[in-house]
Amino acid sequence: MTSGLWELVLKGVWVTIQLLVLSGLLATVVSFVVGVARTHRLRSVRFLAGLYTEVFRGTSALVMIFWVFFVLPPAFGWQLVPLWAGTLALGLTYGAYGSEIVRGALAAVDPAQREGGIALSFTPWQRMKLILLPQAVPEMIPPFSNLLIELLKGTALVSIMGMGDLAFSGNLVRLALQESAEIYTYILLIYFVIAFLITRLMRGLEKKLKAGVGKAPKKTAAVRVPEGSGVS
């Protein structure tokens, strides 16, 4: 490929990374907000959180992108640029899947830990912050890693809006070269490299978060006082 075509592909990589980071951040926020809400003591809060989860898990991410980009503008009188439309659609959709990860991890914490917090007169927020989340978050990392990789592959859907992501740029290069095997092999390799980096980063984060969890504090060595020193 010529340098101009490679530049087009690199621009597509940059757009894909931007979309992945922005939608991943939105999905993370949605995951924790909705996931925690699904464990709330109020039935109405649990119902609304569950309704959101079922609606967004039960709809196609592709259709959601169409809806955000083409249906919302006439309804509200404003137009989202493709990057923000893709971020909103993907973040809300994958956030619904992430909320189940959060809910499941919180539910897996030993009930005795919750009871201990109640015995110490902790508020629900204190129990969540000091007891539940420190134990649940490390267990969320492996499924969240898989979810981020699925989100990476889902970013290719934004090409239907004409957004110049990696998939869209690859198609333009294919049309320019009139040859598919070379460019799509490169595209596959690029997606693989990004996914591999996500996996390694998430594994490092998992090890860091799990370090010290459940470990007893180090014992300090007793200092022997010589006899006759006058110290009792």
- Orientation angle between helical segments 133-154 and 82-107, nearest 10 degrees: 140
d(CA 124, CA 73): 40
d(CA 28, CA 31): 5
| Domain range 3-110+117-210, CATH class | mainly alpha
Per-residue confidence (pLDDT) for residue 175, from 0 to 100: 85
Q: Within its chain, how far is the Cα of 195 from the centroid? A: 13
Q: How confident is the model at residue 2 (pLDDT cuts 50, 70, 90)?
A: confident
Report the amino acid identity of residue 153. K
Least confident of 78-92, 106-120, 129-143: 106-120
- Would you kindly state where each structural domain of the chain is located, as residue ranges? 3-110+117-210
Quick check: pTM over 0.75? yes
pLDDT in tens, 40-94: 889 999 999 999 999 999 999 999 998 998 888 777 777 788 899 999 999 999 9
